Structure 1
């Protein structure tokens, strides 16, 4: 196969209120709003586009693994443990629903946070070496 998938361009996130959610992502996470209508908003965050799509209540991007544990479908990266700790503190100060920093038995540390609709996201202290090399 000659052609390869080169990057993830867009992630779709279900939300119950597009306007309220887009404001939350902009105000709380520093996303950039590039488009909004009644059914969707397009935000740019962490070098990617996200579509916040109007969905029915109790929808989320989360899933349950084979052991019944609710999982996130997306992990954000930061550059190091200090950056992770500062972000965790900032999220708490900005009243984002956020978990404690965890040691999951692999390189780096993580914590989870939730948006207004309960979409669960992960943050990892290990920035991809490829991203570092290309963009930093």
Structure 2
């Protein structure tokens, strides 16, 4: 029997202050806190477990591509352009650092946002068809 990886279960995000960062994720992004100590917080968020791990200063998930452009390593999905525009407006009102909604030449639209430590994330308006089929109920 052929085995395959089924899903990403946990993502680890470096943060400088676990208490402040966990409050930010809970209060601004709606994450659910399931555990916290001095060195880590475990959040339930976006259908997976997110660990905020206390790290040295100036650590982030971000990386630079061959052209020197800073890249994000995580893209969150929302269900459609209206949902993308609504969450962009919500993030802006909450004073989360966000970029403009962009057309990147593929289906849907995107924008980026940053957490307290400068971890850069992407939001895309196209929800995965497989996820949508399995987990999103009709309204």
What band does the TM-score fall into relative to the shorter chain?
over 0.9
Q: Does 1:103 align with 2:92?
A: no
Aligned counterparts of 1:114 and 1:57: Cα–Cα separation in 2:
16
Secondary structure class of the residue paired with 1:98: coil
Q: Which residue of 2 aligns with 1:52?
A: 52
Q: How do 1:1-136 and structure 2 match up within 5 A?
A: 2-136=2-136
Aligned counterparts of 2:66 and 2:28: Cα–Cα separation in 1:
32
- Number of residue pairs matched by the alignment: 136
- Structure 1 residue 107 displacement after superposition: 0.5
CA deviation map 1:56-85 (0-9, x unaligned): 110000000000000000000000000000
Aligned counterparts of 1:108 and 1:65: Cα–Cα separation in 2:
23
- Structure 1 residue 39 displacement after superposition: 0.4
TM-score by length of 2: 0.97
